[in-house]
Structure 1
């Protein structure tokens, strides 16, 4: 089903086309019309299922139709369990929101960093993506008010409950207006999530999407054990030694994508970054250059890369491992398509080894591991 049949307006359809989003994921097909109808929703879907766009797109559509709120009074609140997810979700809001004629400012806030810059950036924010503890800190500092929230999203609610955010979430719910739309997403329907559903949602529509199996038979998977300081040189060594002419490199954050690109270019490798902080024109040009073979390496974050669909992409490299096994399978599934062979390479540091073991176990496959201490990386 195309996005044109889901009730989205022309500016959002144009933004989707510019990002090469043409085919809907199952959860997007089911969820977007429900959200646009103003209904509460319980979505059961795994990471990597396309769920983020399933709420980002209709939220942007609905916010286009309503008047802006007072300063520091957010209209949409998205609660997430981790800093990484906050950054990724807000990146998607910007990915599709930057090209709209209306200015709808979004911001991600989370702990572990100074609160003062986040307080300053709250000026004019209408979509706030937050971890519970930092949100309450901002409320206590009078940096934000939740009294005009029209839409509440709980993303990965099961993880928030498992990570002990129950009390903080209860405190936040007390600050919200009674009349609002609620969207709850979870990978599992546990007893705790069911209880939260009963408390939070009003006559919800339940959308459940089963994970699709990814065929990995045509993909050769390799892993290289490397120290952090040798990771960049090893990346450039592999591109050189394997004569890679087209490689998609995954990183976890936008700042890392830019840093990797700088180093690749300094070493004579044509590269570009693809992430939500790039302008619309820069993202479109980077993807076009990569598909046309004008650059060798495209360095992308997970969510910015959702629209990349290249039939015969030969190489994928995980410069940094993704958060979940599902994301790992989604990443490496960009190669090995249309019966063509592909190679997926992961660069694994000591602190990644346990997580990578979990990924392999969930995937049901073990990856050939190579130690790199004896590789001479001088000059790379």
Structure 2
């Protein structure tokens, strides 16, 4: 992908780039919709990346082109604002704007030409947007000499996603893309942003994590995601908590009395999901990856029944993987489409792949994309 981005830059702009940076998509092993509730998440970066090639300019204009659009977007740095940005270019240009909110001197910065290429599937729940944002953030931070640490760059990406793109997401995706290490997960406290890199040990134990991209596309800027976040905030207020991070399992009885049924179930998912993240990390450390399956399975049930963000295609992928020997399976990402993941011994990969494809065909669903992922390094400069 590094070569693809550099070649694309040269074709669009007629010169070689000054540098190439990349950042990975992510799979969230467990901890869904807990991030914006100040809770715990446990994602890892995957070996599919977004890449940005950057070249300097002698004016104050940013131009951005990509492998996935025939459009080149041009804007003067003085005109950068959330209101001025839309479409796919809102992701990279939103990061440029957000860097100004975190100390970049945009009044005196020189313009840049950018070219983006990505191998992270769009709409699959693997955080293609955060991969682009993180690669752009790292590139511009270095090129403009801003000097932000990676935890702050994650905040830059989140601000761009929230204010410019209009998706009310938490910080997990950007943190995973920027902080991850190879063969490890990022155990992240979304309140303090303390991150602990935990070895996964999948390869050593002969395990594969299979992704089933249902190809049911979701749009987080639309109502479903925002409605879930509003329910969580309403539940926290009713319980006198700053966020659902401050609500524990012992509080669920009181919550059931105070809240309407739907809000209670939204709250119960977040509270129990936070505990499942803690249990997964503890079990991984004490017993290894082969023992975490029950937490993955329980997470899917909670998302399906309490948070109501699954879809029939996700449920079918999960139950088919479980029926064919997976250690554990769940949907991953924000929901309403996207991908499911299944952890299994290596030998079962062809079996589960075949059975999931057959199950989708039998139901008349669109053929899913099925592929294995490995835990990869976070954002980096490639050349």
Range of TM-score over shorter length: under 0.3
Q: Which has the higher contact order (CA 8 A, sep 6+)?
A: 2
With the length of structure 1 as denominator, give the TM-score of the two structures: 0.27
Higher strand share: 2
With the length of structure 2 as denominator, give the TM-score of the two structures: 0.27
